Chain A
């Protein structure tokens, strides 16, 4: 008897906390998004999901949705590809490893907004550091207006996104690498395995659970990431670098359409929920097999 209730009792405090900080706002969002709502959030009548149909009819929303997909895949994928070799290098013993580790972790210590502000200055067309550096190196002969159009602004934002995602990802992988026993490599080396074979047969499979964690967590963070794009372009020019969060912010706090903004927010929540569930399912099935 006692045993059956105990687990529930023990999870009750955290369930209560989750209710206050997660369920209640989501419930509120559902209320706002399904009702006609005033400029300042007072609910009026139920409006037959008009906020959701308005989104589907809005080309800016659809474009932002598509761009959010690109943004998430590119940043998460890029950070992953970069972090595995970085973590492997940092895991080997070499002179100055401490400093190298600190250098890699450093971007993590700076607030994301400040990083974005610094890059905005660095990418300024006439007085930016990047242009003067490139001209100094003789790589370009006239200033590039990085943030003037999406063709150059968005790739730069993706690169910065990767840069700030690498430290966290590397940390996860370093933890993973240190859990792989050294004798596996020694045994493989004795059998004559090349470094590439060692990576394919030992490192990568044993790192997989950590890669899965990194993918899920990074996807959630990056999908919801606001500062980089907002600070550098505010989703502009002409909404051409908008992702869902920046689109939502403009809808809610510039134009005052709280209902539609709440609908966007719920759509984002649903996408992440479905992604996480599917991904965790797949990853776990693989592990069991």
Chain B
């Protein structure tokens, strides 16, 4: 038998296997990211309620840890066995649109449906005038500070800018007993973002106006020097490059870190794990000109072009974005409301922590919508780790800017 015949035979066998795994009519398969231990139970209850209200449609949720979500989607799409709907990081959306695997939702979206959303959060999912995803989760970053440490160190208010932050960190360091002024994240996901907070406050953006990388600008250098000087002076926790976001959050929960920048879900964690910790949430420090920036993130739920049950899938989307369902999900996970009606609920209005986050939204930057963004982010994280380990900021940034520009030019 010739090789071609073998290949055809194998392909046929494989496609039969794949066919067996395909959904039956009326079944909607959804890949969802596991944000916390509450994610699985939430989608279980969605399945029950939705199936009871819509006889004839069955829903199957595949809950996947966030770290392996992109890997699963890549392999599923390559094999053609992807679900009907999936949660994705909105920053990946451009790849899905360019590769023509995401279905535009505009034919389903009625004006009153669109009106449910807060524009800031819906707009990242819109590309070339078409809505390819709906923001299922939204988050921003703000600065948490430990009120008890601040009081002990004789600091009245959270720092408004980076100079004040350095002074406060010095005072907290002076308390001794294993306390660190500023928690600096230097490992794994969002290592680059932690650096952008300082960079944005210098008025530098991730991409310059001409589309080149901002890493080569004087503002980027100032920001890197700021963090490096804080490490050298011992104002951060030691071993910055061994601490990912969760590690720094744990130090904060243990009361060892004076200040750190992270997402609203830390409030939920503190409530559960360290209820006696006295903390406040404040704006991200500003730079010399008063510029500041926070990182805005949304995850979108998208419909795949090859879905065989698009109408049923849309019904599920419509259900997921009702005010009641949104409130249940958002409050459980500690995200920000994306739904206008939901945002008016007492839970959000009377919540001082969340108010600090929503106040920062006008300064929010979302990940730039460019192909190759993940690679640029990786280049930036690598460059920062080298600098945090003692490398020269100027040389490191120059090298990173060149690498990033090579990616951006493609």
Interface residues of A (CB under 8 A from B): 19-20, 24, 27, 38-42, 124-127, 143, 145-149, 153, 233-234, 236-239, 250, 252-256, 258
Given contacts A40-B77, A41-B74, A234-B188, contact A256 B95 (CB under 8 A): yes
Whether a CB of chain A sits under 8 angstroms from the CB of B232 is no
Cβ contact within 8 Å between B74 and A148: no
**What are 8 A-B interface contacts by the 8 Å CB criterion?**
A40-B95, A40-B101, A41-B78, A148-B240, A148-B242, A237-B241, A237-B389, A256-B74
Whether a CB of chain A sits under 8 angstroms from the CB of B324 is no
A127 to B250, CA, bound (A): 10
A239 to B187, CA, bound (A): 11
- Interface set, chain B 1-18, CB cutoff 8 A to A: 6-7, 10
Interface residues of B (CB under 8 A from A): 6-7, 10, 70-71, 74, 77-78, 95, 98-99, 101, 178, 186-188, 237-243, 247, 250-251, 254, 256, 372, 374-375, 378, 382-383, 385-386, 388-389
Cβ contact within 8 Å between B389 and A149: yes
A266 to B186, CA, bound (A): 32
Among A39, A124, A238, point to the contact of B389 (Cβ < 8 A): A238
A256 to B99, CA, bound (A): 12
CB closest chain-A residue, reference B94: A39
Cβ contact within 8 Å between A124 and B247: yes
Shortest distance between the CB of B131 and any CB in chain A (Å): 21
CB closest chain-B residue, reference A151: B389
Cβ contact within 8 Å between A147 and B71: no
Cβ contact within 8 Å between A39 and B378: no
Chain A residue numbers with a CB within 8 Å of B243 are: 125
Shortest distance between the CB of A160 and any CB in chain B (Å): 16
Cβ contact within 8 Å between A238 and B99: no
- How many interface contacts (CB-CB < 8 Å) are there between A and B? 98
Chain B residue numbers with a CB within 8 Å of A250 are: 378
A126 to B249, CA, bound (A): 13
Most B-side CB within 10 Å, residue of A19, A20, A24, A153: A24
Cβ contact within 8 Å between A256 and B10: no
Chain B residue numbers with a CB within 8 Å of A252 are: 71, 74
Chain B residue numbers with a CB within 8 Å of A239 are: 382
Chain B residue numbers with a CB within 8 Å of A145 are: 238-239, 242
Cβ contact within 8 Å between B374 and A148: no
Q: A39-B74, A40-B95, A42-B78 are in contact. List 19 more A-B contacts (CB 8 A).
A: A19-B6, A20-B10, A39-B95, A41-B77, A125-B238, A125-B243, A126-B238, A126-B251, A127-B250, A147-B239, A148-B239, A236-B241, A237-B386, A238-B383, A238-B386, A238-B389, A252-B71, A254-B374, A254-B378
Shortest distance between the CB of B64 and any CB in chain A (Å): 13
Cβ contact within 8 Å between B385 and A237: yes
A42 to B305, CA, bound (A): 15
Among A126, A153, A258, point to the contact of B237 (Cβ < 8 A): A126
Chain B residue numbers with a CB within 8 Å of A24 are: 10
CB closest chain-B residue, reference A234: B188
Chain B residue numbers with a CB within 8 Å of A233 are: 187
Chain A residue numbers with a CB within 8 Å of B372 are: 255
Shortest distance between the CB of B376 and any CB in chain A (Å): 10
Given contacts A38-B99, A41-B78, A238-B382, contact A253 B71 (CB under 8 A): yes
Chain B residue numbers with a CB within 8 Å of A126 are: 178, 237-239, 251, 256
A231 to B243, CA, bound (A): 13
A143 to B251, CA, bound (A): 15
Chain A residue numbers with a CB within 8 Å of B375 are: 255-256
Chain A residue numbers with a CB within 8 Å of B71 are: 252-253
Shortest distance between the CB of A139 and any CB in chain B (Å): 18
Chain A residue numbers with a CB within 8 Å of B251 are: 126
Cβ contact within 8 Å between B74 and A40: yes
A128 to B388, CA, bound (A): 21
A125 to B257, CA, bound (A): 14
Cβ contact within 8 Å between B239 and A39: no
A145 to B101, CA, bound (A): 44
A145 to B231, CA, bound (A): 14
Among A39, A147, A238, A253, point to the contact of B242 (Cβ < 8 A): A147
Chain B residue numbers with a CB within 8 Å of A149 are: 241, 389
Chain B residue numbers with a CB within 8 Å of A125 are: 237-239, 242-243
Cβ contact within 8 Å between B95 and A237: no
Given contacts A20-B10, A39-B74, contact A143 B374 (CB under 8 A): no
Chain B residue numbers with a CB within 8 Å of A234 are: 187-188
Cβ contact within 8 Å between B70 and A253: yes
CB closest chain-B residue, reference A20: B10
Shortest distance between the CB of B6 and any CB in chain A (Å): 8
Cβ contact within 8 Å between B242 and A146: yes
Cβ contact within 8 Å between B241 and A255: no
Chain A residue numbers with a CB within 8 Å of B237 are: 125-126
Chain A residue numbers with a CB within 8 Å of B242 are: 124-125, 145-148, 153, 237
Shortest distance between the CB of A239 and any CB in chain B (Å): 6
Chain A residue numbers with a CB within 8 Å of B238 are: 125-126, 143, 145, 148
A250 to B378, CA, bound (A): 9
Top 9 A-B pairs, shortest CB-CB distance: A145-B239, A41-B78, A148-B239, A237-B385, A237-B241, A147-B242, A148-B242, A238-B385, A253-B71
A258 to B79, CA, bound (A): 14
Cβ contact within 8 Å between B78 and A40: yes
Cβ contact within 8 Å between A237 and B78: no
